[in-house]
Amino acid sequence: MRVAVVSDIHANRHAFEAVLADVGRARIQEIWCLGDLVGYGGDPDACVELARDRAAVCLAGNHDLAVTGALGIEEFSRGAAISARWTRKVIAEENLIFLKGLEPAGEDSGIGLYHASPRDPVWEYVLSIPLAERCLDAAPQQVALIGHSHIALAFGRAEPGEPTMAAPAGPGAYADLARGQWLINPGSVGQPRDGDPRAAWLLLDLDERRAEWRRTEYDISGAAAAIRSAGLPDSLADRLGYGQ
């Protein structure tokens, strides 16, 4: 089975729709979402509805939990807090109910699914080899998928106790998941932070045990206009063009 793994949509309808169009051309059987359907962007209802309709698996991210009230916004940045408060006011009731039913961790086909990390599914940013090693120690699965950092990454090791290494995760890079233990981040659909503004996602082939990172062009100006139209901070619109 071929799976498209997406994360950190952040109410960016233009990016999500472009990725879904790419997914439709890639002979994908299922879509797995690692959370943060809302936050930062100007189209929360559209993104939640797309996930409701298309995703076989969907996790809750910290921004989703903030909008439902399950998580406070005291630790959020100014822009994230403003966006969460605005989203609470405008989101449709049926979409809020959907978000309330999601959890930040799960498992499918033997693959661990975590919004942030196996150690802390809500908040931990896994951006270094030492942290990745601790997460691999904590993960009960051979392969764990994570999001939250908005950066496409891969960490792997031959077996527990062996050194953990970072692996390439740029567009077109792939990981052989048949051997060793892996921690894989697809990157962000709606707000990439690795200097590449294109929407990021992962093609996961469960039969061949292979992961491939993909990037998709989308209408950045349209997404930025939606943010400004919602009255959200200009900085949230401006950063889309820089991939930061």
Listed range (103-112, 161-170, 176-185, 219-228) with the worst mean pLDDT: 161-170
Are 68 and 93 in contact by the 8 Å Cβ rule? The answer is no
Return the CATH number of 2-242, one of 3.60.21.10, 3.40.50.920, 3.30.428.10, 3.20.20.70.
3.60.21.10
Is it the case that residue 173 has pLDDT exceeding 90?
yes
Confidence (pLDDT) at 72: 95
Confidence (pLDDT) at 160: 87
Which of 54, 59, 44 has the alpha carbon at shortest distance from 7? 59
Are 237 and 10 in contact by the 8 Å Cβ rule? The answer is no
Give the helix ranges, DSSP H, for 55-127. 62-68, 78-90, 93-100
Confidence (pLDDT) at 137: 96
Query: Each residue of 184-196: pLDDT tens digit?
Result: 999 999 999 999 9
- DSSP letter for 69, please: T
> In angstroms, rounded to a whole number, what is the distance separating the alpha carbons of residues 10 and 5?
15
Confidence (pLDDT) at 161: 86
> In angstroms, rounded to a whole number, what is the distance separating the alpha carbons of residues 44 and 68?
13
Residues 6+ apart with CB under 8 A from 128: none
> In angstroms, rounded to a whole number, what is the distance separating the alpha carbons of residues 213 and 44?
25
Place of tokens 């931990």: 124
Are 126 and 146 in contact by the 8 Å Cβ rule? The answer is yes
Query: Each residue of 37-94: pLDDT tens digit?
Result: 999 999 999 999 999 999 999 999 999 999 999 999 998 999 999 999 999 999 999 9
Band of the pLDDT at 138, cuts 50, 70, 90? Answer: very high
Are 169 and 145 in contact by the 8 Å Cβ rule? The answer is no
Are 145 and 32 in contact by the 8 Å Cβ rule? The answer is yes
What token pair was written down for 27? Answer: 């002979």
Residue-wise DSSP of 195-210: S--SEEEEEEETTTTE
Band of the pLDDT at 217, cuts 50, 70, 90? Answer: very high
Confidence (pLDDT) at 157: 96
What token pair was written down for 198? Answer: 């294109």
What token pair was written down for 132? Answer: 């990745």
Residue-wise DSSP of 217-238: ---HHHHHHHHHHTT--HHHHH
Confidence (pLDDT) at 143: 98
Three-class SS of residue 114?
strand
Is it the case that residue 215 has pLDDT exceeding 90?
yes
Is it the case that residue 241 has pLDDT exceeding 90?
yes
For residues 105-116, average pLDDT:
98
> In angstroms, rounded to a whole number, what is the distance separating the alpha carbons of residues 32 and 222?
25
Are 173 and 146 in contact by the 8 Å Cβ rule? The answer is no
Place of tokens 């062009």: 217
Which of 64, 162, 62 has the alpha carbon at shortest distance from 117? 62
